[in-house]
Amino acid sequence: MTSRRATTPPQTLRAALALLIAGLSACSTEAPAPSVGANLVVRRPTSAEDDPFSTAGDKFVAITAEVPGKPDGEYRVVKPYIPGGAPITLECGTAGCTGVPFGLGLQLRVELWSVDPATGKPAAPVLARGKTIPFDHQKGSTAKTLTPYVTRLNRFSPIYADDGTVAATTGLAGSTSVALPQNTGEVLIIGGAAPGAGKKNAYDPASYSSFSDGVALYSPNDRKVQMISDVGPEYRLAKGRAFHSSAVGNGVVAVVGGYVSSDGGAKLTNSVEYIDAAGKVKEGAPLTFARAGATVVQLFANSNYFLILGGKGELPCYAESTTGAQCDNDKACGSGDGCYKGKCSQQLNCASNTWELWHPTEGNKAQGKLMYPRWNQTAVRLPGVAGGYVMLIGGESEGGVRSDFEVVQFTTLGGGIISRADAECDPSVTALGGCDGQGFFWKPLVQGIPSPRTMAAAAYVAVPRNSPTLDYRHVYIVGGFSDAQHTKPIGLVHVFDVNSGSYINEAGFPMQFPRGAPMVAAAQGGPNEGQVLIAGGSTSETIHLSSAELIYVTVDKSTGAPVANLQITATENDMPDGNRVFGTVTALNTGHVLLSGGVGTGQEGLVGQGAMSVWAPF
């Protein structure tokens, strides 16, 4: 992991926007200056095309305090932006002051607003935005320095740190990135692989010759990348790996499976490591099966039980049959069977059709069967009563590209249950459907998707729309390939309504470009929560995309009950460094989405894409 030095130092908006924060109790005509304050130091990209403050025209600066449980805009001050003017100081010493209440998890949002030329007042559209990391504002606490990074909207912007460096990586494919749950919002970027010289197929594990044991830390507050694995060997992975899976638990991050180096090539591994709260890497108990690209989720909140499902494995999933009935898909075969080489064949236990329950110190706790094998699947975790659901979408099996999704349920009820394919119904269990046929407490639910797809991406979007009659809980299934040879990219988004159990539009919503293996993340927090970035991906195993687009929703209340309308539009600019696949996109708690790593096609073959950037929803 490296940092690039900028040609010009980062600038502030007249050095600072100094914002004094006080409890509402201090807001009176007799109130003295507050004893608790925060220096709001606004940062911005320094390049002319990315600096939002250098754009032509008059502007207003709006500072909004996002307070949990309060309507957006209740705590806001708007003042004209005067280039070269004095720092904007918002004091809580008058009757009309805009104080910020004491509380936990507050954030300050800085925006540039347009000016209505007819009235000279603030008007749409918002031109730029940045937000602080969450902070706790309590009586008697020390003053804080908060540094929101204000960037133009719907645009990838380079990441300038205060010391003049630009955040960058060494350009690895198959890394994982996870956002840590603390207020700092830091992101761990783990492992990855560099392409071999002259290699052209990004989808072939043999194209990668160097597997990284590195762990990097990105901090949204100071916008720096640190290689914590350089501190010492106890901070590095024991096995350099790529195309592994990672998930955050309660003070640990699990790093599961993937490909590791073997005799100059790549092989699957069953190794699991975990990063503890101090950043040290420790080896855990191995999995039963070696697997890459598995789905990994934290099973329960505040726990370190991880559910590991499916993925590419080494062993066959079917016993080849010469007497089975002819078939062209799994549904043509009976329970426990699948279609393999045109014959209904008995399933064998393998990585792709099993799950494993793993704990950092307790090891491999349990195993169970999925209904069908799948690898190169995408997945989302859905919340549920005393547990939740994992939705495994599409992927591949020996029979070809899958045209279904499978939902595995887990719950603390009944002593702790995970649904599995070979389980029998227990009449003593009444939770969540039990044996009444109304739920899928034991056997996983399998349901079709509108078209077969592998190497797709997915996002679960649950956004309160300020209306009790609009419950917006949807799964976006994005792109992918319709063939296992990765030659037929899909240009559709299908939307599954979790409430109704059906698709909003069976025909799908057209994207700007067909793209397999796109990078997808949903922006978090604030008035623009739920916008989904779709970046890069491929049209074949050797041709990759530099473009990006986004999904957003407008709500129409003109006809009575509110109606959500899904829209897809292009981003304002392409990703830095050009075409890119197998990088990571991570939603930050500042509202930005972080883009890191990946590979693209250069003149001589695959090249690492090292430029990092942040994208801001509009």
The model's confidence at residue 47, banded by pLDDT at 50, 70 and 90, is: confident
**CB of 460 closer than 8 Å to CB of 297:** no
b/e string for 144-173 if b means 16 or more Cβ within 10 A? eebbbbbbbbbbbbbbbbeeebbbbbbbbb
**Structure token pair of residue 522:** 């949903």
Which of the four pLDDT bands, split at 50, 70 and 90, describes residue 424? low
pLDDT, mean over the chain: 86
Distance separating alpha carbons of residues 500 and 130, to the nearest angstrom? 36
pLDDT at 589 > cutoff 60: yes
User: Residue 259 in contact with residue 370, Cβ under 8 Å?
Assistant: no
Residue 319, both tokens: 């016993």
Among the listed ranges 300-304, 457-461, 506-510, which one has the minimum average pLDDT value?
Answer: 300-304
Window from 37-51, 146-160, 480-494 with minimum mean pLDDT? 37-51
- CB-based contacts of 57: which residues, under 8 Å, 6+ apart? 114, 115
Tell me what pLDDT residue 336 has: 67
Question: What pLDDT band is residue 411 in, cutting at 50, 70 and 90?
Answer: confident
Distance (Å, rounded) from C-alpha 88 to C-alpha 53? 15
Measure CA 504 to chain center: 23
Write out the DSSP string of 24-79.
Answer: GGG-STTPPPPS--EEE--B---STTT-GGGSSS--EEEEEEE-TTS-TTSSEEEE
**Helix, strand or coil for residue 331?**
helix
Burial 285-320 (b: 16+ CB within 10 A, else e): bebebbbbbbbbbbbbeeebbbbbbbbbbeeebbee
DSSP strand pairing (144-146 vs 38-40): parallel
Buried b (16+ CB within 10 A) or exposed e, 124-139: eebbbbbbbbbbebee
Map residue 206 onto helix, strand or coil: helix
How many angstroms separate the CA atoms of 91 and 245, rounded?
48
**In DSSP terms, which residues pair with 595 in a beta bridge?**
585, 613
Return the domain boundaries, the chain.
2-153, 165-315+350-615, 316-349
Q: Which of 502, 517, 492 is CA-nearest to residue 568?
A: 492
pTM assigned to the model? 0.90
Question: CB under 8 Å to 263, separation ≥6 — which residues?
Answer: none
- Provide CATH code, domain 165-315+350-615: 2.120.10.80
Q: What pLDDT score does 612 carry?
A: 95
pLDDT > 90 in the chain, percent? 59
pLDDT at residue number 535? 98
Summarize pLDDT for 523-571 with one digit per residue, the tens: 987 777 789 999 999 999 999 999 999 999 887 777 777 778 899 999 9
Q: Are 504 and 520 in contact (CB under 8 A)?
A: no
What is the C-alpha to C-alpha distance for residues 610 and 597, in angstroms, rounded to an integer?
A: 6
Cβ–Cβ under 8 Å, residues 516 and 480: yes
Locate 300 and state its tokens.
């329960």
Window from 46-50, 418-422, 507-511 with minimum mean pLDDT: 418-422
Q: For 86-128, write each residue's pLDDT tens digit.
A: 666 555 444 455 567 788 999 999 999 999 999 999 998 999 9
Q: Respond yes or no on whether the N-terminal peptide bond of residue 125 is cis (omega within 30° of 0).
A: yes
Spatial strand order of the sheet with 613-615 comes to 156-158, 613-615, 593-596, 584-587
